[in-house]
Chains A and B, each alone.
Chain A
Amino acid sequence: MNQLIIVFLFILTYTTVTIGTAKYFYLLNIKTATNRFLKKKQENLMELHYSFEQIIYFYQLPSNISLIKHATRDQLTLKYDYSNVPFVQLNGIYLQIETGNDPIILAYLPIKNFMLPYLDEKRKDGEISESLITKISIAKLIHEKTLQEIKNEVYNKAKLQSVGVFRYSPTDC
């Protein structure tokens, strides 16, 4: 019986370590592969431009819903959307407002639509594989500066004063 418990614990340990560290090694691999490619091409991740265009909003912003209207910047959080444990894959990021109970999902940025002109160009020239495109896109998306910019973009959009007014300063953050 003792041995049964020990074997069970070992299986649990193996499963937990495999699943628990999968995200870390997944992202580590993405960063390594990205750096290797960009170094070879003498490019810098920070200098790859991207567009906010593919952020999908689930609420009309600015919104008249008081929880959204009165949300502070600190309440707006980012959450990675992973799938296929143990074959981890980042599908996108959620931008949500923490309300204390269930968060309000304001927007979502799907990774497959997170477009970088540099990668599109390399794809057309046949210099890069689709899996590497995905890895570099993810590396750009999860970069601290990108995440902050996306957060600011959504926050600014949510904080426009009147419904129907769309123009605002991108530096207003």
Chain B
Amino acid sequence: MTNEEIFFLIHIILVALFLNFIRFKCTSLCNRFLLIGTSFFVFLTAIYVFQEVYILLLLFLIIASAISYQVKGVAISTILSFFIFSYYERVFSIDYLLFFIIVGAIITALTYFIRIQMQRNTYWKELLIKNSKQLNVLREVSVAMQQTRDLDKILHIIITSVTAGHGLGFNRAMVFLYESENNLLQGIMGIGPLNAKEGFERWKEIAQKKYRLIDLIAFSETQTIDPKLNDIVQSLTISLADDNFLKRTLQERRPIHIKATDHHEQTLKLFIETFQMKELVAIPLLYQGTKVGILLIDNPVTQKPITEEDIDSVIPLASQAAIAIQQAKLYEEIEQMALKDGLTRLWNQRALQTKLSKYFPLNSTDNLSMIMIDIDYFKQFNDTHGHMLGNEILEHLADVITNSIRVDDIAFRFGGEEFSILLPQTKREDAVGIAERLRKKVEATYFTNQETQPNQTLTITLGIACSDQLTAPTPKDLINAADQALYTGKESGKNIVMCYEGDKK
């Protein structure tokens, strides 16, 4: 190698290094321009040194142009190369022009083929990533859903999966369930911020603590998520009697994508203003053609536009959610049927055992009172008027009891004509007041054919016991004590409230 050649070698290495140092600092377009510009510069310097083989350099220039600017680059560099060739060879021939065009076309075809292959690979990779992600979410959600039959937990799993980054990554989601009796949608649950600031705070916390989807799902067991949003969502009841976007979503059985600027109807306006929505999607939750509810999603934090692909990614989850919700609702119905008395619609004795265990105080500072109720002379009433009318009386009495007790009190049909009421966190004295009020109310209420009763009216006897009256209280002891008080009342002339005397010395 001559000194000149060594110098040139060092020169092109330095130029290449400088090119790389500079070109990544600017935009993609500028990067391409620098690459082709520098290559052209290398060509110009090289052509002075290696005039005899400048054709090879021209070829290099065309390839560099093809990589940087594809067809346009090849077209310009081919024409430029032709003129450089004509200048050096002192000939201007159409044949040579044709030659350069053919060379340019071949290089274009080759680079095009390589680029298409690369684009195809990128496309397949992106498709794989997208589908794998969807599969990841569905897999985790399926496992989480299988672990519960509780409707609230299922709903929480669904909206967490829609909103968590590992899930589908929307900023906010809300669920509205369909109530067929009233033909309306009731807001049940929501996850997400009310505004962007709140959203960023939450997002920072998730990133800082490295919460995973499963952690976020588990939060519902320990804390109330987004209480402000949930308060608003739960206060919303949307009638489907009028035409609105939610009704259309269920009727058309497809997601409806709405930009806030479109709004003109009242219901949509309500949502946009209440939740400061700029763009939203309503997705129908359907199970075998049955309306289950609506899933609403939007991006109030990032303001990221919702694409058709985004919507498509929610559909499988929405379908699975609809199945899980419907099953949970059916389970709840069956559970209700198993725990409720078919005639009076009060809780039955099986439910009493469960509720007693749940509310039975664990320490002496808490109180649980129980009232046992028996209808006076009910056997005689049944014998006189038949069981059908007897049943009617039981139903009527159940209504009177239900309307007389407090919100936290729980009424049961104990069996036959006996009823009971559990009064959590209630002392005996307060229970007596409630029982006396109920006794008077029943006495004052008109029941069909009550004139045939010994006192010309239907009456009840009530026995009361409180957990603090028992030495070593158990649920069974409390029932026995209230029952004992009831029988003492029966023996004392009926239509009376009788308290258990207590077994504490």
Q: List the interface of chain A (C-beta within 8 A of B).
A: 3-4, 6-8, 10-11, 13-14, 17-18, 21-22, 24-26, 28-30, 33, 49-58, 60, 83-84, 86-88, 108, 110, 115-118, 120-121, 124, 131, 164, 166-167, 170
CA of A8 to CA of B164, assembled, Å:
55
Our pick among B16, B50, B52, B204 for the contact of A117 (Cβ within 8 Å) is B204
Q: Which residues of B contact A120 (CB under 8 A)?
A: 200, 203, 301-302
Q: Is the CB of B17 within 8 A of A53?
A: no
CA of A108 to CA of B212, assembled, Å:
16
Given contacts A49-B207, A124-B196, 20 further A-B contacts (CB under 8 A): A10-B12, A10-B50, A14-B39, A17-B12, A17-B20, A18-B16, A21-B16, A21-B17, A49-B204, A50-B207, A51-B165, A51-B210, A51-B211, A57-B132, A58-B128, A58-B132, A86-B67, A118-B204, A164-B143, A166-B214
Q: Which residues of B contact A11 (CB under 8 A)?
A: 56-57, 60
Our pick among B24, B212, B303 for the contact of A26 (Cβ within 8 Å) is B24
Q: Is the CB of B16 within 8 A of A14?
A: yes
Residue B391 CB within 8 A of the other chain: no
B19 (CB) vs chain A CBs: closest residue: A18
CA of A7 to CA of B15, assembled, Å:
16
17 residue pairs bridging A and B, Cβ less than 8 Å apart: A3-B52, A4-B53, A10-B46, A13-B12, A17-B16, A18-B19, A18-B35, A25-B17, A50-B207, A51-B165, A51-B206, A53-B165, A53-B212, A54-B166, A83-B122, A86-B35, A117-B200
As a 0/1 sequence over residues 191 to 216 of chain B, the CB contacts with chain A under 8 angstroms (1 = contact) are: 00000100010011011101111110
Q: Which residues of B contact A13 (CB under 8 A)?
A: 9, 12-13, 16
Q: Which residues of A contact B165 (CB under 8 A)?
A: 51, 53-54, 115
Min C-beta distance of B119 to chain A, whole Å: 10
Q: Is the CB of B204 within 8 A of A29?
A: no
Secondary structure at the A interface, as helix, strand, loop or mixed, is: helix
CA of A83 to CA of B123, assembled, Å:
13
Q: Is the CB of A87 within 8 A of B32?
A: yes
Min C-beta distance of B160 to chain A, whole Å: 12
B interface residues, how many (CB within 8 angstroms) = 61
Residue B407 CB within 8 A of the other chain: no
Q: A50-B207, A167-B218 are in contact. Are A56 and B136 (CB under 8 A)?
A: yes
Q: Which residues of B contact A118 (CB under 8 A)?
A: 204
CA of A86 to CA of B38, assembled, Å:
13
As a 0/1 sequence over residues 112 to 140 of chain B, the CB contacts with chain A under 8 angstroms (1 = contact) are: 00000010001000001100110010011
Min C-beta distance of B412 to chain A, whole Å: 38
Q: Is the CB of A8 within 8 A of B13?
A: no
Q: A87-B28, A120-B302, A166-B143 are in contact. Are A7 and B212 (CB under 8 A)?
A: no
A157 (CB) vs chain B CBs: closest residue: B212
Q: Which residues of A contact B9 (CB under 8 A)?
A: 10, 13
Q: Is the CB of A22 within 8 A of B27?
A: no
Q: Is the CB of B42 within 8 A of A14?
A: yes
Residue B267 CB within 8 A of the other chain: no
B303 (CB) vs chain A CBs: closest residue: A124
Our pick among A25, A49, A52, A121 for the contact of B24 (Cβ within 8 Å) is A25
Our pick among A18, A25, A124, A167 for the contact of B302 (Cβ within 8 Å) is A124
Q: Which residues of B contact A88 (CB under 8 A)?
A: 24
CA of A164 to CA of B143, assembled, Å:
7
CA of A164 to CA of B354, assembled, Å:
31
Max chain B Cβ within 10 angstroms of own Cβ: one of A4, A53, A58: A53
Within 8 A of A (CB), among B414-468: none
CA of A11 to CA of B19, assembled, Å:
15
Q: A7-B50, A167-B214 are in contact. Are A18 and B133 (CB under 8 A)?
A: no
CA of A10 to CA of B9, assembled, Å:
6
Our pick among B12, B32, B218 for the contact of A14 (Cβ within 8 Å) is B12
Q: Is the CB of B20 within 8 A of A108?
A: no
Our pick among A6, A49, A131 for the contact of B1 (Cβ within 8 Å) is A6
Within 8 A of A (CB), among B16-38: 16-17, 19-21, 23-25, 27-28, 31-32, 35
Q: A22-B20, A86-B67 are in contact. Are A57 and B210 (CB under 8 A)?
A: no
A11 (CB) vs chain B CBs: closest residue: B60
Our pick among A7, A22, A87 for the contact of B57 (Cβ within 8 Å) is A7
Residue B399 CB within 8 A of the other chain: no
CA of A116 to CA of B206, assembled, Å:
11
Min C-beta distance of B374 to chain A, whole Å: 51
Q: Which residues of B contact A170 (CB under 8 A)?
A: 210
Q: Is the CB of B17 within 8 A of A49?
A: no
CA of A131 to CA of B13, assembled, Å:
28
CA of A51 to CA of B9, assembled, Å:
47
Q: Which residues of B contact A25 (CB under 8 A)?
A: 17, 20-21, 23-24
Residue B8 CB within 8 A of the other chain: yes
A149 (CB) vs chain B CBs: closest residue: B210
A4 (CB) vs chain B CBs: closest residue: B53
CA of A120 to CA of B203, assembled, Å:
10
Residue B477 CB within 8 A of the other chain: no
Q: A21-B20, A60-B139 are in contact. Are A53 and B12 (CB under 8 A)?
A: no
CA of A148 to CA of B196, assembled, Å:
32
Our pick among A7, A17, A124, A131 for the contact of B53 (Cβ within 8 Å) is A7
As a 0/1 sequence over residues 287 to 308 of chain B, the CB contacts with chain A under 8 angstroms (1 = contact) are: 0000000000000011100000
Q: Is the CB of B218 within 8 A of A116?
A: no
